[in-house]
Amino acid sequence: MARGIYECVNCGHREVFESGEPLLEKACPKCGSDMLLVGFAEGEGQDNVPQIEAFAPPKLPHDVEEKLRQFYALEFEGVDGNLFIYEVKEIIENDFERVLRELEELGYWAALKKRGKRVLLFVFPAQEVKESNPWLPWVFLIATIFTTFMAGYYQALLYIEFLDIFNLPGLRNPYLIALSFSVSVMAILGTHEMGHKIAAVYHGVKATVPYFIPFPNIIGTMGALIRVKSPIPTRNAAIDLGASGPIAGFLVAIPVTIIGMKLSVAVPQGAIPPTEGGITLGTNLFFYLLGKYLFPIPDGYVLYLHPVAMAGWVGILVTFLNLIPAAQLDGGHIARAFLSERAHRYFTMVLGFLLIALGFLWVGWMIWAVLILFMGSMGNPGALDEVSPISKKRIALAVAALVIFILSATPVPFSAS
């Protein structure tokens, strides 16, 4: 086995180890710091001093090193494989997105992290971002338009039947109602995901176009998503990416819900024959405020939602679920901007177990708990730059997301009657 000569990056102590690894973490017998490989022992001299075979650790290309020193006053710490480590003595360029953008042109990425009282810069080769299939999003989009239209058609038939039973006025064209439902759902979900996409483009984060997920259920979809394919540069960017989708979708869900509530009908509760196996939609603060101030319902009456109102309700629920501040959900990215990786992991675990407890109110929370605990076990790496402060505008954006989370919170989304 190779006998490597290592030098402590902190105190300079040299020691021979039976190893050839470039870096031995916390191996210094004097101060406990990392030991960097500086040569190999070929034999013992008269003074029992190991003879050193010249060994040059890997170095960054000169142009990359030169570029870094335009942005930071640096002191080389060591290298671990393809990871080059520097201690930052002074930050010259405060715009980390510019740093990352110019480094990426040279084929490298960087991460700025705090380690105790020190600031370290980690530099590593940029990963190749593969092109996505250009046709697949369109296939999913067309399929989701079809499944949401069919779901809207089914809801339209139930709505028209309800109008006929109680001899109530209202539009009875199932195709127009189905189309209005499909357009409403697609508008909310599409705006949500485009909010993410626009924020990603603004911050130079590579991401796919929205993928809609068709599914033959009561709403015809399992939502939509975009895939982020490169690291999030800063905590400001993390908040923008996390908050942009829910806020954009919520702003569209507001008029959709108001229009749908206006089209909905109220009937005396005693006039509805008792049934078994029915489903009652849960309420939230947003719907409560609408019912109290814009569409007050007389005591003893119940509201039968028009399919467009159902689309608005679904949009509000999707907003709430995405803003849960756990794992890598939208709310999780926002929370991670304010918390360390370790604190956020613990926070995610607590929320996961809390959802298990909520499973006694709605069994669906059990599924969400398992999902969050699974995603939480993989952690949330957070932004590359965890040193630069969060701007006041992003703090305000996070507060706005918190307000929307409270307004849209639906503890019991569905209940059986």
Task: Out of 47-51, 133-137, 181-185, 276-280, give the one with best mean pLDDT.
Answer: 181-185
Q: What's the pTM value of the predicted model, to 2 decimals?
A: 0.84
Domain check: are 263 and 193 in the same one?
A: yes
Domain contains 367: no
Q: Tens digit of pLDDT for each residue in 210-246? A: 999 999 888 999 999 999 999 999 999 999 999 999 9
Name the band, by pLDDT with cuts 50, 70 and 90, for residue 81. confident
> 414 or 335, which is more confident?
335
The pLDDT value recorded for residue 271 is: 72
Domain contains 336: no
Mean pLDDT, to the nearest integer, of 76-102? 93
The pLDDT value recorded for residue 276 is: 52
Domain check: are 182 and 225 in the same one?
A: yes
Domain contains 338: no
Mean pLDDT, to the nearest integer, of 189-194? 96
Q: Tens digit of pLDDT for each residue in 322-347? A: 999 999 999 999 999 999 999 999 99
Domain check: are 178 and 279 in the same one?
A: yes
Domain contains 400: yes
- pLDDT of 317 strictly over 90: yes
Domain contains 355: no
Domain check: are 309 and 161 in the same one?
A: yes
Domain check: are 96 and 163 in the same one?
A: no
The pLDDT value recorded for residue 49 is: 44
Domain total of the chain: 3
Domain check: are 286 and 182 in the same one?
A: yes
Report the alpha-carbon distance of residue 415 to residue 182 in Å, rounded: 24
Report CA dihedral (49, 50, 55, 58) to the nearest 10 degrees.
-90
Q: Which two tokens stand for residue 20?
A: 């050839």
The pLDDT value recorded for residue 52 is: 46
- pLDDT of 413 strictly over 60: yes
Domain check: are 186 and 243 in the same one?
A: yes
Domain check: are 49 and 164 in the same one?
A: no
Domain check: are 156 and 290 in the same one?
A: yes
Domain check: are 40 and 159 in the same one?
A: no
The pLDDT value recorded for residue 164 is: 93
- pLDDT of 28 strictly over 80: yes
Domain contains 227: yes
Domain check: are 311 and 192 in the same one?
A: yes
Domain check: are 200 and 170 in the same one?
A: yes
Which domain range does residue 235 map to? Answer: 136-322+387-416
Domain contains 339: no
Q: Tens digit of pLDDT for each residue in 105-128? A: 999 999 999 988 999 999 999 988
